[in-house]
Amino acid sequence: MTAKCNSKTVFIARLLKATLNYAFSASIMRKKTFYLIGSVSFICWTVILCYLFIHKPLGKGFKYNEVVIQVENLENELQSQLKANELLLLHLKNIKKQIQETGKDLKKILEDNPDALDLKSDKITINKEDSICVLLLACNRITVKRNLDQLLKYRPDEKSFPLIVSQDCNHRATTNAIMSYGNQLTLIRQPDMSDIPLVGREKKFKGYYKISRHYGWALNQTFHKFNCDTAIIVEDDLDIAPDFFEYFRGLYPILKSDPTLWCVSAWNDNGKEALVANDPTLLHRTDFFPGLGWMLTKDIWLELQTKWPKAFWDDWIRQPAQRKERACIRPEISRTKTFGKIGVSNGLFYEKHLKFIKLNDEFVPFSKRNLTHLLKDNYDVAFLKSVYGSPPVSLQQLLSGSISTNGSVRLTYKTKDSFKKIAKSLGLMEDFKSGVPRIGYRGVVSFMHKHRRVYLAPIAEWKGYDTSWT
């Protein structure tokens, strides 16, 4: 029995040894095979590379221009794709809002509007149930009728643009003029007629204190009592363009979707006829708050209302603490024009400048146009390329017309005084507010001179606005 066990044990041990020897031999063979295949592959690859290098056609070296063209084509393709993505995002945001506000599901919304997600369509639709309130601020000018007549003439319908008139001053004749329009508008009256106690030099600015008080109250009423989501603010001394409402309707989705924007204005501070292109479709971004017919959202008002100033609200709103590096949209050709020579500013700038502003007289269907080029990422790339790609010229060259190119040109300023000198020579407004020149964007003021686009620009390494420039 013991002998049999020993014999089996010896047999198993021999079998195990043989198996291990075979496995070890096979492992060595596999390693040798792997090394052999690797070596052959390396040799073949080296031979191919040598062959290609030796037989490379002569005279066909690296072509820099071709590479540049290919890179530019790739850049254009990427920009097109980004624009398509942004357009799709705007469509999706619009549909999301419709779902939330109407309770309809996606299928129903697409049945009502089959083009809602069509990227070939330039139109970004606004929910028909949306409305943009219009807030008209009035005081003691019966000429408010001139403004009201135009607002009611060009307003597409009452539901889309409900009109609120807020009156200060308790001026009976003006109240009667406003009430003569009946239910075409809603009249609210600023209740605080108390005097504002001021001392010293402040006394002569009392009118500005009352205006700021009225603005704050009226905006609170508009966004809280009437629960408006967005409002267009106008004053009682403005003429408006035929496409005034279409302008704001078309830009409404852009304002709502771009967090780097905080207002849309109908006004170009440098909008004299000689300084603008004859193209009513042109729109721009600006770091300067223009006012004179402007649109803001409730979200922005909630941000401003708790710190609303006692006076000079427009200068206050231009300060960095309020602007927060955000921009507004402005037109090339103004959609408003002031006829108010008499007011608290005593005609400041009116005779010299404001009365020469060109008012647009052509209707542009902005709500049917693709305006996504105004979104910051799209706009800044094209804008800076245009500005700093334009050849630099001197003021003397520009004034004398001794410029060889027919395209846009660039004037460079480095100091506040050099800016003011150039601006004065060309009929531009010279002042700064919190370091920002009127209509300026990234320090650049864009205008026309003798049918040529001119950029009055800081150096390309510009670091930002200097708030000491006033």
Dihedral sign (CA 343, 346, 348, 350): positive
Say how far residue 373 (Cα) sits from the centre of its chain. Answer: 9
Q: Is 409:393 a contact under the CB 8 Å cutoff?
A: yes
> 291 in the Ramachandran plot: left (φ > 0), alpha (ψ -120 to 50) or beta?
left
Residue 93 one-letter amino acid: K
> What pLDDT, on a 0 to 100 scale, did the predictor assign at position 28?
45
Of the candidates 231, 240, 233, 218, which has an alpha carbon nearest to the alpha carbon of residue 146? Answer: 240
Q: Give the span between the Cα atoms of 178 and 141, in whole angstroms.
A: 10
Tell me if the pTM is above 0.85: no
Q: Report the pLDDT value the prediction gives residue 130, as an integer from 0 to 100.
A: 76
For residues 384 and 151, give the distance between their C-alpha atoms in angstroms, rounded to a whole number: 37
Which of 314, 315, 380, 466 is catalytic? The answer is 314
Reading the block at residue 128, the tokens are 């028909």
Q: What value, to the nearest 5°, has the Cα angle with vertex 135 and ends 131 and 138?
A: 160
CA distance 153 to 155: 6
Q: What is the pLDDT of residue 96?
A: 72
Model pLDDT, residue 5: 43
- Identify which of 104, 225, 106 has the alpha carbon closest to the alpha carbon of residue 164: 225
pLDDT in 10s for each residue of the chain, 470 residues: 444 444 444 444 454 444 435 444 444 444 455 555 555 556 655 655 555 555 544 444 445 555 555 665 665 566 556 556 656 666 676 677 667 656 777 776 676 666 556 555 444 444 445 799 999 999 999 999 999 999 999 999 999 999 999 999 999 999 999 999 999 999 999 999 999 999 999 999 999 999 999 999 999 999 999 999 999 999 999 999 999 999 999 999 999 999 999 999 999 999 999 999 999 999 999 999 999 999 999 999 999 999 999 999 999 999 999 999 999 999 999 999 998 766 555 466 778 888 899 999 999 999 999 999 999 999 999 999 999 999 999 999 999 999 988 999 999 999 999 999 999 999 999 999 999 999 999 999 999 999 999 999 999 999 999 999 98
* Residue 115 among the catalytic residues: no
What is the C-alpha to C-alpha distance for residues 236 and 144, in angstroms, rounded to an integer? 5
Q: Residue 16 contacts by C-beta under 8 Å, 6 or more apart in sequence?
A: none
Query: What per-residue confidence (pLDDT) applies to 213?
Result: 98
The residues with which 240 forms a beta bridge, in sequence order, are 336
Please state the three-class secondary structure of the chain as a single string: CHHHHHHHHHHHHHHHHHHHHHHHHHHHHHHHHHHHHHHHHHHHHHHHHHHHHHCCCCCCCCCHHHHHHHHHHHHHHHHHHHHHHHHHHHHHHHHHHHHHHHCCCHHHHHHHCCCCCCCCCCCCCCCCCCCCEEEEEECCCCCHHHHHHHHHHHCCCCCCCCEEEEECCCCHHHHHHHHCCHHHCEEEECCCCCCCCCCHHHHHHHHHHHHHHHHHHHHHHHHHHCCCCEEEEEECCEEECCCHHHHHHHHHHHHHHCCCEEEEECCCCCCEHHHCCCCCCCEEEECCCCCCCEEEEHHHHHHHHHHCCCCCHHHHHCCHHHHCCCEEEEECCECEEECCCCCCCCCCCCCCCHHHECECCCCCCHHHCCCHHHCHHHHHHHHHHHHHCCCECCHHHHHHCCCCCCCCEEEECCCHHHHHHHHHHHCCCCCEECCEECCCECCEEEEEECCEEEEEECCCCCCCCCCCCC
Burial track 81-110 (b if 16+ CB lie within 10 A, e otherwise): eebeebbeebbeebbebbeeeeeeeeeebe
Query: What pLDDT was estimated at residue 99?
Result: 76
The residue type found at 117 is L
Position 341 scores a pLDDT of 67
- How far is residue 109's CA from residue 98's CA, in Å, rounded to a whole number? 8
